[in-house]
């Protein structure tokens, strides 16, 4: 039976996935399970903060492009850039073409290689472009895009931490959360976020409700493709892979939200 995440799970989610001053009191597998199930709630908080930054700039007379830059910057700030760093390191590992052990060593290095730079650049450009287009549609659409993308990004972390997905290394945050979420819990979280997204989109119209739900589903699906490729390539997941999965989901959600 799926248990309701405890306060320790909430502290784990906010304490490890954001820079908010939340003290993590437990690091055991039960706390990690609750934390990864609560990851979308941490994403919701990050998304609301990102939307608030964009809306504030718009209210002060800034253009939609500047508002989009601020909206994209807030999640990076609130995560210390760890997800973006993970995306770049994952790209370097995958792009190296080397065996798993060597690729993992490349990912642990402090510098960023050419693959990481290129992926990071185009990912941020895509996020800013999509957010600017959403804000061009309306302030509400821009804010919705910010919240949905940040929540979908953390939902992808929940699904990536499900049972059956091994850790590539015996140490690190990736190993601490790998395989802690029951498959049923990951499915329930996906359904809950999808329905919540559809409900939020419904305030803008029936088409937006459908598109928002589709954005969440596509975000998880594309992130899953990356996850499976990384598991095949590296033998499991790492903290960097989790970061790459989150940024992939966020970008996919934003792109889907501005199509059509």
Residue 254 · residue 152 · CB < 8 Å: no
**pLDDT band for position 3 (50/70/90)?**
low
Across 43-47, 110-114, 152-156, 162-166, least confident range? 110-114
Chain mean pLDDT for the chain: 94
Grade residue 2 by pLDDT with cuts at 50, 70 and 90. Answer: very low
Rounded Cα gap, residues 138 and 150, in angstroms: 19
Give the per-residue pLDDT at 1: 41
Identify the residue whose tokens are 């939200």: 257
Residue 107 and residue 86 in contact, taking contact as beta carbons nearer than 8 Å: no
Average pLDDT for 1-11: 70
- pLDDT > 90: what percent of the chain? 85
- Supply the pTM of this predicted model: 0.95
Residues 6+ apart with CB under 8 A from 202: 208, 209
pLDDT tens-digit map of 197-256: 999 999 999 999 999 999 999 999 999 999 999 999 999 999 999 999 999 999 999 999
């Amino acid at each position: 039976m799926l248990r309701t995440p405890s306060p320790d799970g909430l502290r784990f989610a906010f304490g490890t996935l954001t820079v908010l001053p939340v003290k993590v009191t437990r690091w055991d597998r039960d706390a990690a399970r609750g934390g990864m199930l609560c990851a979308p709630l941490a994403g919701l908080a990050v998304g609301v903060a990102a939307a608030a930054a964009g809306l504030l700039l718009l209210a002060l007379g800034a253009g939609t492009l500047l508002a989009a830059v601020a909206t994209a910057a807030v999640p990076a700030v609130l995560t210390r850039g760890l997800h973006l760093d993970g995306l770049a390191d994952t790209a370097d590992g995958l792009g190296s073409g080397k065996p798993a052990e060597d690729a993992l060593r490349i990912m642990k290095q402090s510098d960023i290689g050419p693959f990481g730079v290129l992926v990071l650049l185009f990912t941020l450009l895509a996020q800013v472009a999509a957010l600017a287009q959403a804000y061009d549609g309306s302030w509400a659409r821009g804010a919705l895009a910010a919240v949905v993308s940040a929540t979908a990004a953390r939902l992808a972390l929940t699904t990536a931490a499900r049972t059956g997905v091994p850790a590539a290394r015996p140490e690190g945050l990736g190993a601490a959360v790998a395989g802690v979420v029951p498959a049923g819990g990951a499915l329930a979280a996906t359904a809950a976020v999808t329905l919540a997204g559809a409900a939020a989109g419904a305030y803008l119209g029936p088409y937006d409700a459908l598109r928002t739900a589709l954005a969440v589903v596509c975000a998880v699906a594309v992130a899953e493709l990356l996850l499976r490729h990384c598991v095949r390539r590296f033998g499991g997941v790492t903290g960097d892979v989790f970061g790459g999965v989150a940024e992939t989901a966020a970008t996919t959600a934003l792109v889907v939200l501005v199509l059509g």
